[in-house]
Structure 1
Amino acid sequence: MNRREAMGLLAAAATGFCGIAHAVPPGPGGSTLHTRRIPSSGEALPVIGLGTWQTFDVGKGQAERAPLSDVLSAFSSLGGRLIDSSPMYGRSEEVAGDLIADLGLRDKLFIATKVWTQGKNAGIRQMEDSMRKLRARPIDLMQVHNLVDVQTHLATLREWKKPGLVRYIGVTHYTAGSHAEVARVLQDEPVDFVQINYSVAEREAEQRLLPFAQERGVAVIVNRPFAGGDVIRRLHDRPLPPWAAEIDCSSWAQILLKFVIGHPAVTCAIPATSKLAHLRDNMAAGTGRLPDGKLRKLIAGAL
């Protein structure tokens, strides 16, 4: 056990996170969502979260927002906690904040967003604006989006973490070509989370970044678990293979998500959706049996 792991266990004991952090309601079919612990604290998070890119960038109309309200309500009732946004995502922060407040879900959710600008003062203004839009103070997780001015913003966030303005800090990227730079940041900077792209069609993170994050005690959020939807479209009309039943999957979306969360370094995957049926399907991937190494190879070979 290294010093970081020991400190994480002490923090978990001090904050009451020796067991599961929050009681996780039954998922689809009455099954319980799997959770993974944040290495720096011991707090547990369900393995399926909710992204907001494109899907939550809507106006103020009831017709536009009602489906998203249904998605958020079901996400929480099925045991979901982590919802991820960014000032880069248009109106997504404001829409998510309004709906979370309307549904009374703030205390049940783990709210993550990002800073995406140049300069210390601009970063402070943007992060304060995100808190206002999301109606979340503190923010559970603030991440430096795509490593933009990363050292400047991480310095601010380390100062904000001391009085509890943010609970966790992290960095993000969504392209494999940036993984080496992300790894350098993990080497040099004390962060709690890294958010990266990873899917059955984008497996570059397996080579170094996922094992390195695990070694460094950094929680991993996975964006693009469906490779931007390309994989789902390719598999849509194909029948499920017989081995899908071995990991309790009834759809390709569940198989693809279980490939992602089946990696031991992954803490949470964040598929985005505005459709209730898709949300329920995604959440089911967080329950039941997960693939072992043999089955992960079969999933990868399905492409």
Structure 2
Amino acid sequence: MKSMMSSRRKALKQIAAGCLAMGMPKLLFSQTGQIMKRAIPSTGEKVGVVGLGTWQTFDVGSSEASREPLKAVLKALVADGGNVVDSSPMYGSSEQVVGDLSDELGIGKDLFYATKVWTTGRQSGINQMNASMRKMKASPMDLMQIHNLQDWKTHIKTLYDWKDKGLIRYIGITHYVDSAHDDLERIIKSESIDFLQVNYSINDRNAEKSLLPAAKDNGVAVLTNRPYSGGSLFRKTKGQELPGWAAEFDCQSWGQFFLKYLLANDAVTCVIPGTSKPHHMKDNLKAGLGKLPTEDHRKKMRELMS
């Protein structure tokens, strides 16, 4: 396993070097009329840099009134070139709602479905993952992640097997607290992991110290959860105007300000803020348009928020 990973890392470094030699950005970074896309390091497949989280926001059951605005959220995501939708069995009815609405809208083929296994025991994990795939109407599942490292040593064996069989396309691990970062780093260095999902925001930067550099060095894609620090960043800036220099990196709102800070870190593949409001989805997506902050900008952004 380690020799395979070493070969993969070597190949990735050679690809990156070739891109630089041709004047291409390190991350196989592209921009069209829609939001920017970044490559999944293990394959080169590209995804939109702004996606959608579904914790709480999509846990609405069968209520038609509650589901209606969520249709508009999904339509906005796809219309502007986003495609990553992240869910979990932990999120109540969210998986089912995502599956039903994307099927109803006929956009399933345009989405990159990500969910998680969140249980203990091999068979329990298998049963749960099969249920998630049925609910989300995703076969194969694009990304299956081990939620908060729950019984990860058991589930990783199943995920390797399922990936070999074509039942899932990518393997990931997740957590949402700083205290888990050391464990996450050890795993991405020792296992064949495609995706890391981790808590990261302008005011929660522990991942910058070692974990994100390790993900970049080991060819692991990164999804960032809690990009708004649970909403505390908006409370902190309520009533405050954006600094004029934010226009230098095409920033028009505080939401974009917080997301662009994360996307300016080239270890980050996609940010996944959750929302149930179409206008918030559209605003979030604009973080994937235009310029990103320079290192000088990022320093000023940190100073402002502190």
Determine if the TM-score, normalized by the shorter chain, exceeds 0.5: yes
Q: Aligned pair 1:3/2:22, yes or no?
A: no
Query: Displacement of 1:298 after TM fit?
Result: 1.1
* Inter-partner Cα distance in structure 2 for 1:238 and 1:184: 41
Q: Map 1:82-161 onto structure 2 (within 5 A).
A: 82-161=84-163
The one-letter code matched in structure 1 to 2:156 is: L
Give the equivalent residue in structure 2 for 1:170: 172
Gaps of 5+ in 1: 12-23
The one-letter code matched in structure 2 to 1:93 is: E
Give the equivalent residue in structure 1 for 2:183: 181
Give the equivalent residue in structure 2 for 1:249: 251
TM-score using structure 1 length: 0.91
Give the equivalent residue in structure 1 for 2:27: none
Q: After TM superposition, what 4+ stretches of structure 1 lie above 3 angstroms from structure 2?
A: 5-11
Change in CA separation of 1:6 and 1:108 when aligned onto 2, cut-off 3 Å: farther
Query: Displacement of 1:5 after TM fit?
Result: 4.4
Q: Is the 8 A contact 1:5 1:39 kept in 2?
A: no
Query: Deviation digits for residues 175-227 of structure 1, max 9, x if unmatched?
Result: 01110111111122110000000000100000000001001110000001101
* Inter-partner Cα distance in structure 1 for 2:288 and 2:182: 29
Q: Map 1:1-303 onto structure 2 (within 5 A).
A: 3-5=7-9, 31-303=33-305
Give the equivalent residue in structure 2 for 1:16: none
The one-letter code matched in structure 2 to 1:161 is: K
Q: Is the 8 A contact 2:263 2:270 kept in 1?
A: yes
Query: Displacement of 1:6 after TM fit?
Result: 5.9
Query: Displacement of 1:236 after TM fit?
Result: 2.3
* Inter-partner Cα distance in structure 2 for 1:7 and 1:46: 24
SS at match of 1:187: helix
SS at match of 1:36: strand
Percent of aligned positions that are identical: 50
Gaps of 5+ in 2: 1-5, 16-29
Q: Which range is displaced more, 232-241 or 171-180?
A: 232-241
* Inter-partner Cα distance in structure 2 for 1:187 and 1:75: 33
Aligned residues: 286
SS at match of 1:114: strand
* Inter-partner Cα distance in structure 1 for 2:63 and 2:13: 46
Q: CA RMSD in A?
A: 1.7
The one-letter code matched in structure 1 to 2:252 is: S
The one-letter code matched in structure 2 to 1:108 is: D
Give the equivalent residue in structure 2 for 1:14: none
